[in-house]
Each structure stands twice: as C-alpha cells, then as structure tokens.
Amino acid sequence: MGVEEGKEAVKEYIEDLRKKIHYHNYRYYVLNEPEISDAEYDRLFKELEELERKYPELITLDSPTQRVGAKPLEEFGTYEHGIPMLSLNSVTNEEEVRDYDERVRRMLGGGEIEYVVEPKIDGLAMELVYENGVFTVGSTRGDGKTGENITQNLKTIKTIPLRIFYDTDAPPLPLLEVRGEVFIPVSKFKELNAALGAKGERMFANPRNAAAGSVRQLDPRVTASRPLDFFAYGVGRAEGKEFSTHWEALDYLRRVGFKVSPLIRRFKEFKDVIRYHDEVKDKRDVLDYEIDGIVVKVNGIEQQERLGTISRSPRWAIAYKFPAREEFTSVNDIQVQVGRTGALTPVAVLAPVQIGGVIVSRATLHNEDELRKKDVRIGDTVVVERAGDVIPEVVSVIKSKRTGAEREFRMPDRCPVCGAEVLKEGPIVRCIGVSCSAQLKERIKHFASLRAMNVEGLGEKVIEQLVDRKMVSDAADLFFLTKRDLLKLERMGDKSAQNILDAMEKSKHTTFSRLVHALGIRHVGEHTASLLADNFGDVEALRNANYEDLISIPEIGPEVAKSILLFFEQGSTKELLRKLLERAGVWYEKKGVGVAEGEEEAVKEVLEGKTFVFTGRISMPREDAKSMVERLGGKVASSVSKNTDYVVAGEEAGSKLEQAERLGVKIIEEEEFKEMVTYSPS
C-alpha cells in the first residue's frame, strides 16, 4: 500500500471513529439511553485524540475533540440572523388566550386549525447554523436581527451536535438554521451553586442567570465546566427542504440528532390547549428545568405565512404565561424615582424577600393613580410578584394586617431632585425642569449605552460624578472632557481616564439609527430609531419632517409622531445637535457610507459580491463596519474559509488571522479597508 493510500485509510478510519463518538454522545446526552459503558466511550475518545495528535492535518471543525480548545476571546463578534428571531406577545389569562384563537380564526377565514404547544423554557434563545451538516455558527437572539457570535461556547454543550445525522440517501442540507433554548437543569444548578459556595465564590440567584453568565464567558473552558443543556424548538432557513407543518420540522430535528422537549403536543381543539396549560402549570415545580408558561403555535406553515408578523412578533404564535410567583413582605418606605423623560415613579422599599430565586428589596408602584387604587401605605404588608417572573411589582395590600400605624404617601408637587414644578399628564407625574440632574444622569447613561453610542467604560458612577460636579450639562459635553477633567473624579486613574477618552473618540463614528436612539426621544426605542433612519436618512430630513411624514411610516402612531415633533422643536435639541455634529465631530453613516449618491456605484464595483471577515480590535464598531460592507454589495462572514476574499485584521488579531494565512486569503489592515469603502476617482 502506497503512502497516499495509507493516509486515505487513516482518514476513513478517523472519520468512522468520529461518527461512532457522535452517535454515542447522542445516545447518552440527548436520549439518555447509552449503549456502551463510560470506559468504552473513553477508550474511543482517547484513540481519536491520539490519531489527531499524530495527524493534525486531519482535524476537522466537527470533531468531538474540538468542543473545547479555542483560545479565550477579548470580545464577542456579532452575527446577523438570516430570518429575524421574533419575540412573542404574551397573555396571562384564559380570556386573552381565547381572544388570540378567535383572532387567528378570523384572519384565516375559517377552516381547520391545528396548534402545537410546548413548555416555555426560562432560558436563552439561540440560533445554530449548520452548513452541509456541520455546526459552523452559534449566536444569541440579541435584538432579533443581530446577536452575539458565541460559537465556541455553544460547541461545549454536549446536547448541541457538532455534526447532524443523515442518511446516504438523504445528504445534509447546504444550510440549516436551528432555533432553541439554552438552560441549566434545576438539579445541576443546585450542584453548581453548592460547588461555588464550597469554594467561597459568588453563587447564582437562579438557573437563568447561571445560564446567561455561562454562555457569555470569553473563555470557553469556563463555559464547558457549566452544566448547560439545549432544547431545539424550531427552524429558520432550511435550504433544500420544505416543511408543511411546524410538527414536521420538530420531527426532522429529532431525527437528525437534536434534543426536543418530550412535552410538546398538538391539538385540533383549542380547549385542549387550555387544559394543557393547566396540566403543565401543575408540573412546573417537579420538572428539572424552569418554565414560565407555554408557547402556542399555529401548526401549518402556509397558515403561519398568511398570518404574518406585527412589528417584531409573529401573529401565529403566543406565550400563555403562568401566574407570576408571589410572596408577602412589608413596605418600609415609598420613594420617588425620576427617569430620563422626567417621569416620577413611586417605588416601594421593601423588607427583602426571595421570589423565584431572586432577593427583592424594591418594587414599582407604577404611578400615582395605581398607588391610590391599591391604597399602598408605608408600613403595609403587601403581596409582591415578579411580573413575567422578572419585574418586581406590588400586587395588593393585606389590609387585615393593618395596625393603624401605617402612613399614607403623597406624590410631591415638586421634583425631589431639582425642585422644579411637576405636571400631571394622565396617570404620569412629570418634572418639567430642563436642567434636572436626575433626567440628565439617565439621559447620559442612555446616550452612552451599548445599543446607543456605545461609550465603553463610561459607567454609572462616573456619569453621576460628572453631573453632580456640573462638568457636563448635556450628552455632547462628554466629548469636550479632557484627561485633566477626568482625573479629578474619585477612583479615576490615568489609564482609566485614557480608556474613556479613547472610547469617546471611537464612538464619534456611528450610524444614524444609533444616534437617533441615543438622543433619548420619548417613545423612540431602538426599533423605532431604525425605522426613522431608514425613512429619513439624516438629521436634517428628520428635523424637517412633519406629522403626516411621520405617521405614514408603518408602526409609528400619533403619540410617537407628536413626541418626535416636540423633541425637535426644543431649543435645547438644536443646541445639542449643533454641539454633537458641528463642534464635537460626531459623524454618522449616511447612504453610501458618506459618499455622494453618484459616486456610490464606483465603490460598489470594488465590493460587490466580496466576502469580508473581521478579526482583532478595530477603531469603528463592528456593526458599523458590517453595515458599510453590506450597503455596498459585499458580505460579512463570521469565520474564514476558502471563499473569503478579505480578512480585515485589527490589533491583537487571533485564530482567524492564522486561518487566513494558511488558506492564502488576502489580509488587509483597517486603513486599507477604509480606503476601499471610500470613493476615490483614481
């Protein structure tokens, strides 16, 4: 046998060994029905490790030995979902869920409707991308359009197959996107906390927090040490395969190796959906994973497509939540919190109580009308719940426990922070002070936040000191701070000050949607900011928009439109934008990445159809760089392959740079990339 024939035989043997290990992983971790002993499994795994050490050129991404081993990251990259990962609208009682069924039947115009129901796992939604059967990218849901690329961490979860099963008669799909939930089983969570406690380390409040903290570790070895699990619940894109029902898609996922909840059912009668909800609710405390309701989905794919979506939620699915967990405690005080829009919110200061694994010491009372309606007084014994198992809220007062020592609370007629008058707008009491420091602090926190201008390192305590010391009067003043200014702050060293200045300089290059979101216009969140950016393109066009222009945009109603108009009518807004754009040097991406419309085609000729991969630290936000490439006809990939045209290497570039060098992919620096995306007549 020749050398090449011998090597081919080794390759085939290694591939067969990998298939066996994948199969036994599936039997053990997914089905919980092992066919071999642990000792036999260990023997197979060690044999594979030894062969791969001897023949490193035969190591593949989907090898069982590659679950853990990647180097720690400095930060996570981003990944854009091929189909948005929508969030679900929720209902909390039988009347609301019956209304949903009636709405679905009315929109479909009659005919038979079948529902698929499943437990709503209290975990983290993920998307797994398989190319030709091999796991290539794993990401979080993020904002629905773009998530964090956490591939190397998801690879460590044993119930996520690195390669899916397929028959020789049915080869793997070119592309398969699998959606599901990562969680930590309750029993494993208790073991994890016990181990952390024994080492004197901080323990997690609940399984969801533990799962969230585990999948976002920059070092995959830490993630691998955590008992994470995964349930698949749906399919995104599936090239080369069509499903007529959701049930069929779930069955396919089971057959190719994914763990799917054994409690999923399908019903033709809606009364069975309600009965299922009550049955699962009774089981929630004996299941080995946290659930907070059920998910109800229309089974037929064609019916789903006819129903469509509204904003960022599907009309064909809904979450039917369980009653929130409740506890009794006492109200020690009622304080007023001032938000960034000036709204005064009464907050109950509670005797600390544990609810659903979380210690709660404060709970919202929403507004003055709600406070009066519930008649909450200082000293009362109250029922507190975590609404949606998340936000603490005072539900009711146990009036039979009153002693007469309880004190009524009155909302102040002046702002407790700046002393300005307050104005009642419906149920909301609002501070009208233009220089209110509470509003300013909250506005700057929002302005600098991750999804807005993303000024890294500018934390809450730094912002509070800047406002309290009157070093900033609006968000634009941040860009005029010097190192000498920052060094005056408590606990501020030379390096920290420089890092903040560098982060502020970096944040000056942004996108129009981020800038609009950062301005903190009332009722304008990230999604609405994106709609405004898509429809107006720049500040001048948005500032000159009238009421009709705004309400002509789907999803923008009268209240939002009026709020936008009011914001741009303010003299303080004009001054803020002047300081940001004319004096501070903030620059946002317009159509064509800042080039004139006629010049854009010349740039497109360079990037059209080209695939870019970014690695290491670059000066601009990754999301903005990606937007530049895609706007000009290119693509951005999360990993390097032979199809990659350019790798843009920043500081401290890692394994992607090494992969590019091995494959002979062209490597460029950030400055060269910027030249490529900027029009030059030469």
Digit-coded pLDDT (tens) for 637-652:
877 888 888 999 887 7
pLDDT for the residue numbered 418: 84
pLDDT for the residue numbered 601: 54
- Whether 682 shows a pLDDT value over 50: the answer reads no
609, 643 Cβ separation under 8 angstroms: no
Burial status of residue 448 (CB atoms within 10 A of its CB: 0-12, 13-18, 19 or more): buried
Pick the CATH number of 3-66 from 3.40.640.10, 3.90.180.10, 1.10.287.610, 3.40.50.2300: 1.10.287.610
17-44, pLDDT tens digit by residue? Answer: 888 888 887 777 777 677 877 778 778 8
Taking the domains of the chain in order of start, what are their residue ranges?
3-66, 90-321, 326-430, 437-588, 597-676
DSSP state, residue 538: S
Which of 192-201, 267-276, 469-478, 670-679 has the least mean pLDDT?
670-679
CA-wise closest residue to 605 among 499, 511, 677: 677
176-189, pLDDT tens digit by residue? Answer: 999 999 999 999 99
How far apart CA 534 and CA 516 sit, in angstroms, is 11
What percent of the chain stands above pLDDT 70?
91
pLDDT for the residue numbered 7: 73
Q: What number is the average pLDDT over the span 83-97?
A: 89
- Tokens coding 383: 């029922």
pLDDT band for 526, please (50, 70, 90 cuts): confident
* Single-letter residue type at 287: L
CATH number of the 326-430 domain: 2.40.50.140
Output 81 or 28, whichever has higher pLDDT: 81
Task: Using DSSP, state whether 188 is helix, strand or coil.
Answer: helix
How far apart CA 36 and CA 32 sit, in angstroms, is 12
pLDDT for the residue numbered 169: 57
The answer to whether the 90-321 and 597-676 domains have the same CATH topology is: no
CA-wise closest residue to 530 among 548, 546, 518, 544: 518
How far apart CA 541 and CA 225 sit, in angstroms, is 52
Pick the CATH number of 437-588 from 1.10.150.110, 1.10.150.20, 1.10.760.10, 1.20.1290.10: 1.10.150.20
At residue 227's C-alpha, the angle toward residues 225 and 229, to 5°, is 130
Q: What number is the average pLDDT over the span 491-504?
A: 90
- Whether 213 shows a pLDDT value over 50: the answer reads yes
Output 205 or 450, whichever has higher pLDDT: 450
How far apart CA 199 and CA 228 sit, in angstroms, is 20
CA-wise closest residue to 125 among 105, 109, 144: 144
Output 50 or 238, whichever has higher pLDDT: 238
Helices in 243-377 by DSSP H: which ranges? 246-255, 270-283, 301-307, 368-374
- Whether 594 shows a pLDDT value over 70: the answer reads no
120, 158, 445, 626: the catalytic one is 120
Q: How many CB atoms lie within 10 A of CB 154?
A: 25
At residue 29's C-alpha, the angle toward residues 27 and 34, to 5°, is 35
Hey, what's the torsion of the CAs at 556, 558, 559, 563, to 10 degrees?
A: 80
Which of 48-52, 144-148, 295-299, 653-657 has the least mean pLDDT?
653-657
Q: What number is the average pLDDT over the span 457-482?
A: 91
Which of 259-263, 396-400, 416-420 has the least mean pLDDT?
416-420
- Whether 608 shows a pLDDT value over 80: the answer reads no
Chain centroid to Cα 612, Å, comes to 24
pLDDT band for 516, please (50, 70, 90 cuts): very high
Distances (CA, A) of 486 to 449, 455, 473, 499, 560: 19, 15, 15, 11, 37
How far apart CA 8 and CA 10 sit, in angstroms, is 5
pLDDT for the residue numbered 297: 97
308, 315 Cβ separation under 8 angstroms: yes
Between helices 186-198 and 207-215, what is the axis angle to 10°? 70
pLDDT band for 435, please (50, 70, 90 cuts): low
Q: How many CB atoms lie within 10 A of CB 35?
A: 11
pLDDT for the residue numbered 655: 75
Q: How many CB atoms lie within 10 A of CB 404?
A: 5
345, 334 Cβ separation under 8 angstroms: no
367, 314 Cβ separation under 8 angstroms: no
- Tokens coding 656: 């992607």
- Tokens coding 633: 């006809």
pLDDT for the residue numbered 78: 85
Query: Spelled out in words, what is the top-level CATH class assigned to the domain 597-676?
Result: alpha beta
pLDDT band for 408, please (50, 70, 90 cuts): very high
300-359, pLDDT tens digit by residue? Answer: 999 999 999 886 789 999 999 987 778 899 999 999 988 877 889 999 999 999 886 678
Q: What predicted TM-score, i.e. pTM, was given to this entire model?
A: 0.57
| Most confident region among 280-289, 417-426, 671-680 by mean pLDDT | 280-289
pLDDT for the residue numbered 285: 81
> For the chain, how are helix, strand and coil distributed in percent, rounded to 5?
40, 25, 35
How far apart CA 417 and CA 557 sit, in angstroms, is 32
pLDDT for the residue numbered 39: 76
Average pLDDT score over the chain: 85
Fold of 90-321: D-amino Acid Aminotransferase; Chain A, domain 1 (3.30.470)
Question: Is 120 one of the catalytic residues?
Answer: yes
pLDDT for the residue numbered 433: 66
- Whether 98 shows a pLDDT value over 90: the answer reads yes
- Whether 246 shows a pLDDT value over 50: the answer reads yes
CA-wise closest residue to 226 among 208, 240, 241: 208
- Whether 298 shows a pLDDT value over 90: the answer reads yes
Helices in 508-611 by DSSP H: which ranges? 512-518, 526-536, 539-543, 547-551, 558-569, 571-578, 597-607
In DSSP terms, 658 is beta-bridged to none
418, 430 Cβ separation under 8 angstroms: no
